[in-house]
A and B are shown apart, each in its own frame.
Chain A
Amino acid sequence: MIRFDAVSKNYPNGTTAVDDLSLELAEGGITVLVGPSGCGKTTTLRMVNRMVEPTAGTVSLRGRDIRDVAAPELRRGIGYVIQHAGLFPHRTVLDNIATVPLLLGWGRKKARARAAELLELVGLPAGMAKRYPYQLSGGQQQRVGVARALGADPPVLLMDEPFSAVDPIVRAELQTELIRLQKELRKTIVFVTHDIDEAIKLGDNIAVFRTGGRLAQFDSPERLLADPADDFVAGFVGQDRGIRRLSFVDAAELPLREGRVLSAATPVARARAVDEPWVLVVDGDRRPLGWAAVGGLPDEGTLADAVLAPLGHTFSLAGDSARAALDAALLSPSRLAVGVDAQGKVVGVADAYELSAATSGPEKDGPSTSAAPSGEVGKQGPPVHEAGEKR
């Protein structure tokens, strides 16, 4: 789809923004370019729509050298979203979104009709159409920015740190929204960020850049966390990558035990017979009520008579990851995580040890020893093509 062939960008003052980059980005997926500042990720992004011209190598889009197309024409076919949205302050929300259709000569009526559709698509009320950008919050502006980029339904979307200027709550919302949109639209998205968590959340593939414009690793997020190519990538991915990997394990795959789950009608004596410090008390529909400490149970009666410790949060086997399950275990008074099904009925419980044992693959102690020397990774076949041709 988008292909970089031995691309470099050097500036007259001697700095190298991008150094001999070869990369192939899959069609219909989100590729995240991530790295510290000055690593050339934004330069790489801007070479796709000729905002920056490479000094060496070629960039091609669907097999065609992008230099064969006049820059303005090329750009009208590539959506672009930037950090501060860059909305046109003198145009209404609707006319901002209609920008590219108008440039393409669709005519005002058709362009505005398309813009109204997009406004809805990005989750903004139709009443916002006539407002000006200054009347919008940062998050709303960013949504309009995304809608504007989608104006002429381009197959490719370039996003340059689009969510980094908004507060963390709005950022998380916008990220979720992008994932939802992408499920529907299947665009080829190139997304630049310096935030590895954002990269892992959004990316189908992640290209990690190091200072000096060199590609350090190009892989799926799972592979990046499990097997960083070298110390730089391992350091960049961070100390808690072990825990973050759990995000990619489906909670439905976790082993759960049922023995400690008892209905409120169970006699106290039977709960004692389980011989565990805590039992989970559920109602007739198997909905969780709370934890009963076996040592603190009344002498007789049923579990309904027991004082229950609060449940903490549960995790759902329909949608949550093992990371949520582990978190639930750590926060639970019994140190046991409660797994529920889509209807909220208890399926079983597990402790942190059981959860982690079930999820850990062969994790290496340190950075992979088989990784290529720094800077060579990008040129080699396997990491590039493996990720690029997966689909």
Chain B
Amino acid sequence: MRDGEPLVRWAWIGDHVDELAHYTGVHLRLGLLPVLLGLLISIPLGILCHRWRWAYPPTLTAANILYSIPSLALFMIFVRYTGLTERTVMIPLTLYTLSVLIPNVVDGLAAVPDPVRQAATAMGFSTVRRVVQVELPIAVPVVVAGVRVAAVSSISLVAVGQLIGQGGLGYYITRGLQLDFPTPIITATVLIMLLALVTDALLVLAQRLLTPWARGKGAAA
């Protein structure tokens, strides 16, 4: 860092508000779309794993193996098919969410009390209707707990996408490094952390509103 350069030049932030807002939006999209996609994949897989327990260990192992592949390697693989696009960042991030979301869907379904499941069957729910109207809603608190972890980690991981030029706010981190200029690095880092925290808080709020019935059990905490 150059001598005399302050950690944060506030004037720079003032000059870049519009641009920062743009990249924040991109960052959110890159971070949260994968969580949504991951959830759409994990719910059916989790239901299958809950119904056929033998399928769970191999599915979880596969998800964990995907998670263990370095993001850089995944970017390099997908860049051959999807180019330097946002998709190349979102596909690996989606795959990463699976190792958190699938177990949470399975655990959430397993947390449905047996008498409740039996009662639903005995009331005349078909299997599909029982899963959709009874079991999944009861699994919501546990699933949301997984979504929170996945969302926070996904938002912070987006910055790595800058390696292929799609890193949301990560753009400022590499720029700052190249220019030996700390202000954008610190601004982007703080913004990414704020995004993660605010997203987490909103998820907690959403869950409170979605599951008023869970309050007595402390499950909404």
Cβ of B115 within 8 Å of any chain A Cβ, yes or no, is: yes
Q: Indicate which residue in B122, B140, B211 contacts A51 across the interface (CB closer than 8 Å).
A: B122
A88 vs B135: C-alpha distance in the bound complex, in angstroms?
9
- Mark the stretch among A127-135, A174-182, A191-199, A295-303 that contacts chain B: A127-135
Q: Are A75 and B124 in contact (CB under 8 A)?
A: yes
Cβ of B137 within 8 Å of any chain A Cβ, yes or no, is: yes
Looking at chain A's contact residues, the main secondary structure is mixed
A151 vs B213: C-alpha distance in the bound complex, in angstroms?
22
Cβ of A89 within 8 Å of any chain B Cβ, yes or no, is: yes
Assuming A86-B113, A90-B137, is B216 touching A99 (CB within 8 A)? no
Assuming A72-B124, A75-B124, A103-B123, is B213 touching A86 (CB within 8 A)? no
Q: Mark B109-143, 1 if CB is under 8 A from A, else 0.
A: 00001011011111111100100001001101000
A132 vs B216: C-alpha distance in the bound complex, in angstroms?
9
The number of inter-chain residue pairs (CB within 8 angstroms) is: 75
Question: How many chain B residues have a CB neighbour from A under 8 Å?
Answer: 24
Chain A interface residue count: which class?
20 to 34
Q: Indicate which residue in A75, A85, A89 contacts B123 across the interface (CB closer than 8 Å).
A: A75
Q: Are A134 and B123 in contact (CB under 8 A)?
A: no
- Which residues of chain B have C-beta atoms less than 8 A from A134's C-beta? 213, 215-217
Q: Indicate which residue in B122, B134, B140, B215 contacts A88 across the interface (CB closer than 8 Å).
A: B134
**Residue on A nearest B213 in the bound complex, by CB:** A132
- Which residues of chain B have C-beta atoms less than 8 A from A87's C-beta? 116, 119
- Which residues of chain A have C-beta atoms less than 8 A from B70's C-beta? none
Q: Min CB distance, B129 to chain A, in Å? A: 8
Beta-carbon contacts under 8 Å, A68-97 to B: 71-76, 78, 80, 82-91
Assuming A89-B138, A99-B123, is B115 touching A82 (CB within 8 A)? yes
Cβ of A49 within 8 Å of any chain B Cβ, yes or no, is: yes
Cβ of B214 within 8 Å of any chain A Cβ, yes or no, is: yes
Assuming A103-B125, A134-B217, is B212 touching A88 (CB within 8 A)? no
Q: Are A80 and B122 in contact (CB under 8 A)?
A: yes
Q: Indicate which residue in B115, B124, B213, B217 contacts A73 across the interface (CB closer than 8 Å).
A: B124
The residues of B with any CB-CB pair to A shorter than 8 Å are 113, 115-116, 118-126, 129, 134, 137-138, 140, 211-217
Q: Which 4 A-B pairs have the closest CB atoms?
A: A86-B119, A86-B115, A76-B124, A80-B122
